[in-house]
A and B are shown apart, each in its own frame.
Chain A
Amino acid sequence: MHLTFTLNGNEIQVEAADDRRVVDLLREDLGLTGTKEGCGTGECGACTILADGESRLSCLMVAAQLPGAHITTVEGMTAQTDGALLQQAFVEEGAVQCGFCTPGMEMAALALLRQDDAPSRDTIREGLSGNLCRCTGYVKIVDAVERAASDIRSCRDRENT
């Protein structure tokens, strides 16, 4: 099918089989390999993207669900200030080890921070509970999200004054 949707702020048109998995469409057809596949069954969260502002698992989405959707992948994160601050916090707080869970983790964290701008550590863990990491034990990832929340609030406060 021929589909039109918005990807990282730009309208794009692609040809894809109806049932092509969105994770494959992103990685193989569009060359956006930032979104990863870790299990293909919705258990690990490595394939997390934002669709219409909500986190979704692209390994359990098909192309036919894309028309009209606004999709954000890790490649489009830094176009917004909060995404850029979150990514920087991951880098600086030691939240990245092997890095394979990182894009999905950042997407889930971004979705969380857009719903709750001052989450407790427990709320952060809850928000990341659908994203598996095998390297970090999550401690520094929670540190990063906590720090990003603070950075984003400060940035917003400065903008408002």
Chain B
Amino acid sequence: MENSQILTYLLFTPIIGAVIILFMKESQTVLIKIFGLLISLFAFAVSLYPYFNFDYTNPDFQFIHKVLWIESLDISYHVGADGISVLLILLTTFITPITLLSSWKAIDKKIKLFTMMMLLLEAGMIGVFMALDVFLFYIFWEAMLIPMYFIIGIWGGEQRIYASVKFFIYTMLGSLLMLVAIIWLTVAASKNIGLYTTNLILLYQQAPNIMLDIQKWLFLAFFFSFAIKVPLFPLHTWLPDAHVQAPTAGSVILAGVLLKMGTYGLIRFNLPLFPQSTVEFAPFISILAIIGIIYGALVAMVQTDMKKLVAYSSVSHLGFVVLGIFALTFESVQGAVIQMVNHGLSTGALFLLVGIIYERTHKREIAYYGGIAKLVPLFAIALMFASLSSIGLPGLNGFIGEFLILLGAFQSQVLDSWWYVVFAATGVIFAAVYLLWMYQRVVFGTVTNEKLNTELTDLNAREIIVLVPIFIFIVWIGIYPTTFLDLSEAPVSAILEHVKNYTFNFLY
């Protein structure tokens, strides 16, 4: 295919940017900031190319670029994108400039290192979403750990060191398990075809033929490592620490994109590689997802710290995504994909807003605030908007995702019970409770704290520029989701078809 190297250009844009920054002077902070922002905007522009040239009817990977890397193991540098990848790559390249702009003032030390880390992180995330070689996927997956470790550890809050080490070790456990699973998968597949390969597309054909006993363990190993990243209840305990301690930019990236890697992995690996086990485990995983939805929401409700509240709301929202994936119907998986984007936008916006107010007062406790609507009206409107989007108000993006997931789960033959939906739907209600309650305590009423009068100033131009693009997409997805749903339509139905082909003996 012509122009098949576009994804490689996209991948290397932030890497080259980071290398150039390495040679810039530490003292030229403004230049570094502007350069970093320009690079990330350029990467966004590059990522529009695959979007506009995307062939919607083709469920296969497009823009494939393959170079043989390690001959003896048949490992290649092999990238490509289907609709799901394109969507998530766009999300990544969209969020990164926003985070860089949002941390213009908040990050005031080691700006050079920070900008480099953010760009490397971006490259790692883009790489994960386009890798079509399991080995390459693993490399990108791991490559992101180190920048994230430093972002939390250097620029985070008071407990940053604890949080960063916890984050590192938790995710490392998951990813090493994935490494074993990847090796096991490729070795087992090679015994079937007599040829060792790490090519994901070939493995799609071979993996479902592996003995079911082994497949089950492989499925669980992959699932476990992705579930840590998602994070699925009960593996979520690293998330609140990491989120609360990370700087705003870190939280936004973490919620916006990093967590999506887990759910992306489930769709890209677990479903097509181990269809039989997917169907077998789907009910159990869905139950975990629903526990996560309710648990996350309940814990969010009692938080006194705004950032923690948003962090726990992530646990709840990602429960929906996992439920959508494992309900295994077209609607639910489509809903899950769009919900990944939604969560990135609305939770990203919430973290940005919490960060904006924290920059002014250095307090995150809900109790510290009260009645700020009068002081900072623009901020109050923006927070309202983001909260409603997160709750899932019809007309905004959250509604589309959650509705599709619930609809799909209701029709699901794999789950085959409407109780799942009943319990999951309570999550929507709880979301309204904790977010609106927080909103009411922070924004409405009279000004409770006199210090706020002097501390608070309304959104400035930079912050508005940061927020407005997100809000545009929130409304866009809410009103006309077809733009985005069309992208993932072909690959989602192809994956489900693939799963169906291998599981005819199950009730499906």
**A and B: real partners?**
no
What residues of chain B have their CB less than 8 Å away from a CB belonging to chain A? none
What residues of chain A have their CB less than 8 Å away from a CB belonging to chain B? none
